[in-house]
A and B are shown apart, each in its own frame.
Chain A
Amino acid sequence: MSQTTTTSAREQFRDRLQDFDVESTVVSPDEVTATLEQIASPPAVGVAPSDGRYELPDTVETEFSPADLEAAETGVTEATLGISDYGSIVVPTTQAGVEPVSLFADQHLAVIDERDIVRGMDDGLARMGDRFREAQFSGIIATGPSATADMGALVKGAHGPKTVHVVVVEQ
């Protein structure tokens, strides 16, 4: 993928995030830890990235119990894919607990590498296809915070996070 298409997919991605009231911050790789520390409201829980690309700040607890999950203000996780047409991120389900960390806290703080942003939903599914078949992958295509209109008007934060913030790591 050429540099220009990457940039424009990134900008489209950020525009779409904004449509769903998701804030985003673009940082260089060496700024990730400090940025997370700044954005995460305590108490925060988190799961370190599977490939060790960045470190979580000390303020984010990586050893947590179910009670910690429920009490957390912020949950920090990686997102393995971004879909710019929709402003969607893919949150993987892992043994380290990405799914509950991204689900139980009021704020989900997700980190995505800009090289993992693809344009269309078809591109996204094509990229994940083999992982589903071969590695029994599970993941959530998440777009915006959880929401409901069942109580007579649109409310953000139904069962899941009330806000989402995406940190895009520039390469």
Chain B
Amino acid sequence: MTASSRETKAAHIRHILDTEGDAVSSNTQGFNEGRYESVADLESYDALKAEARAVKEDAIERLPSLIEQLRETVEENGGTLYIADDAADANDYVREVVADVDGERVVKSKSMTSEEMELNEALFEDGVDVVETDLGEWVLQVADEAPSHIVAPAIHKSREGIAELFTEQFDPDEPLETAEDLTMFARRKLAEKITAADVGVTGANFVAADSGTMALVTSEGNARKTVTATDTHVAVAGVEKVIPTVEDLHPFVELIGRSGTGQDITSYVSLLTPPVDSPTLDFQADELGPADDREFHLVLIDNGRMAMRGDEDLRETLYCIRCSACSNACANFQQVGGHVFGGETYSGGIATGWEAGIEGLDTASEFNDLCTGCSRCVNACPVGIDIPWINTVVRDRVNRDTDAEFDWLVEGLTPDEEPGGVTLQKRLFGNFSTLAKLGSATAPVSNLLADNPVSRRVMERVAGIDRRRALPKFERETLQAWMADRPPVVDAEREVVLFPDLYTNHVQVERGKAAVRVLEALGVGVRLADVCASGRAPLSQGMVETARRHAESIADALLPHVESGRDVVVIEPSDHALFQREYENLLDGEAHERLKANSYEILEYVYGCLANGADPDALRSGDGEQIAYHSHCQQRTLGVERYTEAVLDDLGFDVVTSDVECCGMAGSFGYKQEYYDVSMAVGEELETQFTTAETDERTIVASGTSCQEQLDDLLTRSPRHPIELLTPVVRTERVSGD
């Protein structure tokens, strides 16, 4: 990406933040809070998620035979099933159906698949009047705008904006002000259209192969009217919507509304086995007709899906039930919505998989970098799709697909396994290990050189590193150097190997020292691993092979310690998460399992020591000290932040916690010139929480390096790692002069 395209992108993002940001953030955050509340009430939440996942895995595995079974049931029921290869094929079929019944008007309920096909445009070409009946979709049709959210398409529009639009377009007799006014106005307008329509087009959230029953998940009742008021029903859906049986709908019916908009269930789940047997309604002649006059066409579209099914890394995308949980849980999406974080049709985290599979890498590459891998969508997804991994894989493919840029400049600087298509920006961030080593070796000169205005301008122009961000300050003495001549603990009850991640080793050396001191105070012997680079940095840039090389050397270095009975203790939460989660995709299964089972986040380990009888008096007491704690996104996905909270609480600290999904910094993301504004917008939510009357005097504590950097930029108080609070005041050091 060139400097000018970065600036163009930054300008577009700023524009969306200014014009749509407020509406998007209040709506998505409302949905997200609703999700937390709604699933908390559901006792069998995890079991339902597992069931939903199993149904989808089975369905996609058996898809070709399920489609054949469905063809038989639909035909037996008196309908038609058409499998369309692509959008044009599907549109041609629908156009033919409409032409066959001399259809002049088509009413539609909300369907993302029809957006993907651009069905409205195709029908307009034939002179057919197509009317969206979902109120949000209709607002967008009137405004001639694209959806910004897959479930609530008009979340970027405020009530005032909609009132203005209606007033301008329709010149209503009565002024339209409240949401009630606007809804009733739209209801009346659309009722006229629906009762005079010839064909009703719906989507289908699920289609059961055993009975031909389709489920439509809605709240407004427009899908019901679309089907009931018209004689010809056309349902369009992706081929991946087929599930084996009607009973398999169960987990989805319970999860889809909760996961998406935070409703326990939407007003209507229509279970239709079409053609339905309601009488036909002729509003013009004011007559009812026989149900036998009803016609039904199911159009299932491939459009790249069968190829995705055969693609090991994209296949999971097909499990997606389009609930929007990954959008609502995403800190970046919460600020910018689908007009920035989205492609041709789909938006949010899973959109990368959809757009890569349907449209291609070019489309996916336009927004894929908005996924920072924070992993907050992972637990939110009702079918357990590893959305960050899909984003990483697609980023890797984009890197490989792009023509070489700056080859000549980076070859020597960045000894990675990547093709020339990786941008200089990605290459620099991806090879942070090289920079960190160089930075410490030459500190403080490296810090001075890096921080002068001329270098900052050059870095911004050449590599897109935003000059408003403070760069990390490398320490001359690394943690490994400090540790080298530290004598071992005598008679240690247990021994651990502490992982000195790149930041702890080169930048935040103090938190490393604090970790060693705390562990030793608890009677734990500490060895320091002689590897630092986990692969997190290259992985975040989509440099999968480089990350894999790092992962393998980490496993080689750490697993012998595990064999010798030492637990692995990790300070940086993003690296702990890597050992727990992402290494699954980088290491062989057994190596990952062993590392996963034997590695602990530092406060998790301290918690375990205390729970197993270690003396809490060996640590500094909180004495009521007031703390504002921001845990790390990936830490929360694993559920390990609770140990930090418990330890601080048990030691007498008075702790309040943030509840934002992510700090917005997310490793390199906040440094990137094109994303600086999104990063700050996300961060401002955290800033707000930590500058209230209750929090603005509190000591700021954060577990993650990135979170600390972000908080440092946002607040006047400098954050610390929780382990630094626990360092014993009375020196229990076994060496003098350290």
Q: Mark B254-292, 1 if CB is under 8 A from A, else 0.
A: 100000010011111111111011110111001110110
CB-defined contacts of B266 to chain A, threshold 8 Å: 143
Q: Mark B205-228, 1 if CB is under 8 A from A, else 0.
A: 000101111000001111011001
Which of chain A's residues 115-171 have a Cβ closer than 8 Å to chain B? Answer: 121-122, 125-126, 128-129, 132-133, 136-155, 157-161
Q: A141-B253, A160-B220 are in contact. List 7 more A-B contacts (CB 8 A).
A: A99-B224, A126-B247, A132-B208, A132-B273, A133-B210, A138-B273, A158-B220
Q: How many residues of chain A have a CB within 8 Å of chain B? A: 51
- Distance between Cα atoms of A92 and B186 in the complex (Å): 27
Asked whether any CB of chain B lies closer than 8 Å to the CB of A88, the reply is yes
CB-defined contacts of B180 to chain A, threshold 8 Å: 151, 155
**A88 and B265 form a contact (CB under 8 A):** yes
CB-defined contacts of B133 to chain A, threshold 8 Å: 159
- Distance between Cα atoms of A95 and B84 in the complex (Å): 32
CB-defined contacts of B152 to chain A, threshold 8 Å: 149-150
Residue of B nearest to A137 (CB): B273
Interface centre among A64, A103, A140 (most CB of B within 10 A): A140
**3 interchain residue pairs of minimum CB distance:** A160-B221, A152-B159, A158-B220
Asked whether any CB of chain B lies closer than 8 Å to the CB of A2, the reply is no
**B211 and A152 form a contact (CB under 8 A):** no
Interface stretch (choices A5-13, A23-31, A66-74): A66-74
Which size class do B's interface residues fall under? 35 or more
- Min CB–CB distance A139 → chain B (angstroms): 6
**B183 and A158 form a contact (CB under 8 A):** yes
Residue of A nearest to B287 (CB): A65
- Min CB–CB distance B484 → chain A (angstroms): 61
Which of chain A's residues 72-101 have a Cβ closer than 8 Å to chain B? Answer: 86, 88, 93-100
Q: Mark B158-193, 1 if CB is under 8 A from A, else 0.
A: 111010000000000000001110111011001100
CB-defined contacts of B466 to chain A, threshold 8 Å: none
CB-defined contacts of B253 to chain A, threshold 8 Å: 121, 125, 141
- Distance between Cα atoms of A152 and B269 in the complex (Å): 23
Pick the contact of A160 from B245, B267, B286 — CB < 8 Å?
A: B267
**B221 and A146 form a contact (CB under 8 A):** yes
Pick the contact of A103 from B179, B225, B288 — CB < 8 Å?
A: B225
Selected A-B contacts with CB under 8 Å, 9 pairs: A66-B282, A86-B264, A99-B278, A103-B221, A139-B271, A150-B136, A151-B180, A152-B182, A159-B222
**A97 and B136 form a contact (CB under 8 A):** no
**B221 and A66 form a contact (CB under 8 A):** no
Pick the contact of A100 from B154, B190, B211, B228 — CB < 8 Å?
A: B228
- Min CB–CB distance A68 → chain B (angstroms): 9
CB-defined contacts of A98 to chain B, threshold 8 Å: 278
CB-defined contacts of A136 to chain B, threshold 8 Å: 77, 211-212, 273, 277
- Distance between Cα atoms of A138 and B208 in the complex (Å): 13
Q: Is the interface of B mostly helix, strand, loop or mixed?
A: mixed
- Min CB–CB distance A80 → chain B (angstroms): 12
- Min CB–CB distance A51 → chain B (angstroms): 17
- Distance between Cα atoms of A161 and B288 in the complex (Å): 21
**A145 and B179 form a contact (CB under 8 A):** no
**A95 and B278 form a contact (CB under 8 A):** yes
- Distance between Cα atoms of A126 and B249 in the complex (Å): 10
CB-defined contacts of A155 to chain B, threshold 8 Å: 179-180, 183
- Min CB–CB distance A71 → chain B (angstroms): 11
- Min CB–CB distance A64 → chain B (angstroms): 8
- Distance between Cα atoms of A102 and B397 in the complex (Å): 52
Asked whether any CB of chain A lies closer than 8 Å to the CB of B128, the reply is no
- Distance between Cα atoms of A145 and B287 in the complex (Å): 27
Interface centre among B191, B247, B267, B272 (most CB of A within 10 A): B267
**B182 and A159 form a contact (CB under 8 A):** no
Interface centre among A70, A133, A143, A148 (most CB of B within 10 A): A148
**A146 and B267 form a contact (CB under 8 A):** yes
Pick the contact of B268 from A65, A100, A146 — CB < 8 Å?
A: A146
**A151 and B269 form a contact (CB under 8 A):** no
- Distance between Cα atoms of A146 and B134 in the complex (Å): 12
**A138 and B277 form a contact (CB under 8 A):** yes
Asked whether any CB of chain A lies closer than 8 Å to the CB of B364, the reply is no
- Distance between Cα atoms of A121 and B256 in the complex (Å): 13
Residue of A nearest to B254 (CB): A121
CB-defined contacts of A142 to chain B, threshold 8 Å: 267-268
- Distance between Cα atoms of A157 and B188 in the complex (Å): 12
**B265 and A158 form a contact (CB under 8 A):** no
